[in-house]
Copies of this chain bind each other. A is one copy, B any other.
Amino acid sequence: MNDGFSFTLLANEPDPCAPRRGRLSTPHGDVETPMFMPVGTAGSVKALGPDDLAAAGTRILLGNTYHLMLRPGADAVAARGGLHKFMAWDGPILTDSGGFQVFSLSQGERGDGKPLATIDDDGVTFRSHLDGSKHRMTAEHSMHVQMALGADIIMAFDECPPGGAARDVVVRAMRRTSTWLARSQAAMTRSRSRLFGIVQGGIHDDLREEHARELTGRHELFGWAVGGLSVGEGKSDMLRALATTTRHLPVHKPRYLMGVGTPEDLLDGIARGVDLFDCVMPTRNARNATLFTSRGKLSIKGARFASDDRPVDEACACYSCRTFSRAYLRHLWNARELLFFRLASLHNVSFYLALMARARAAIERGSFAAFADEERRAWARAHDE
């Protein structure tokens, strides 16, 4: 019984490390892949309503377990009917495990010099960034929270070491991730959710291969994620480690490259067989006045936009670009108008999702490499030429 979940590829036997066109089905609807997932950190994709998200072409959202467990709390969301109902998003939702945010905090210190989070073989003890309250997170707790939220896709609890971590730290994180995956799978008992495992291994090809083989050999899961990349390592290391990982993942399962990335990163990931991406970049950049366009990024703060009647991106069909000029958006930014954040976020998310749609079409035509080269060339051109 698949309970409405399946993943199918258009081609029967693609190369494990090559562009793929697929369809991920969930009880909340289908997702054509490759697909980008906007991030709804605290039960809201910042500045956007579900109407905006649908208009931008969103098919699946990511929710952050760490943020939601602290506020309003997993059981509070469950009591409201789950995350889909709470935030009025009836498409698929993937939740992360909460581990990444917790580990990010462990890089910081409290006022008294003590770390905000400490990791041991069983899990993580951390303090809330909201009120300093102490929390414990384990694989079992992460599963409890994600099941309470009612996510369609649930991520196993893993340890993601920082980009510059020494090899022994990466190995220890792999071991913990392996143990925690077994515990996650045992604890994930919700029939209307599916679990993704996460492969670690840093930038070390041998570790990436070892971990991918080990985990996929031991666990029959719905899908797999590539973790521990885009965390400070160099781009060439990232791409090599990614390719090594996807080469050793089962072809017919969806692959998710976590927390990535720029539009260029997305094309690089698709080229190496990735199906799903998420990143705060489109929404965070929007809130800093940086807008993505078919001819590269622009900062709408620039004085030259004050008399620019063109839309942000003449190739974009989003509400912001159909309706408003660069001059108006610059004015909204200058006047600190709240509407700016909605229009800019809507545009950037639309840009990411339209890029994914064009990438899917290129894969179907069998010309993804040429498409990606052309996109990169266009982004590299000067904006006002």
Chain A contacts to B: CB under 8 angstroms: 42-44, 46-51, 67, 71-72, 76, 79-81, 86-88, 306-307, 309, 319, 323-325, 327-328, 331-332, 334-335, 337-339, 341-343
Contacts and interface: CB of A to CB of B under 8 A. Distances in A.
A246 to B, nearest CB: 35
B51 A332 contact: no
A75 to B, nearest CB: 11
Contacts of A44: 332, 335, 337-339
A285 to B, nearest CB: 15
Contact of A334 (B50, B71, B328, B332): B71
A80 B342 contact: no
A86 to B, nearest CB: 6
B42 A337 contact: yes
A337 B307 contact: no
29 contacts: A42-B335, A42-B337, A43-B331, A43-B332, A43-B335, A43-B337, A44-B337, A46-B338, A46-B339, A47-B339, A48-B339, A49-B323, A49-B339, A49-B342, A49-B343, A51-B319, A71-B334, A72-B306, A72-B327, A72-B331, A76-B306, A76-B327, A79-B307, A80-B307, A80-B328, A86-B328, A87-B328, A88-B328, A342-B342
Nearest to A343: B49
A328 to B, nearest CB: 6
Contacts of A328: 43, 80, 86-88
B342 A71 contact: no
Contacts of A51: 319
A338 B72 CA distance: 16
Contacts of A80: 307, 309, 325, 327-328
B335 A71 contact: yes
A118 B42 CA distance: 49
Contacts of A339: 44, 46-49
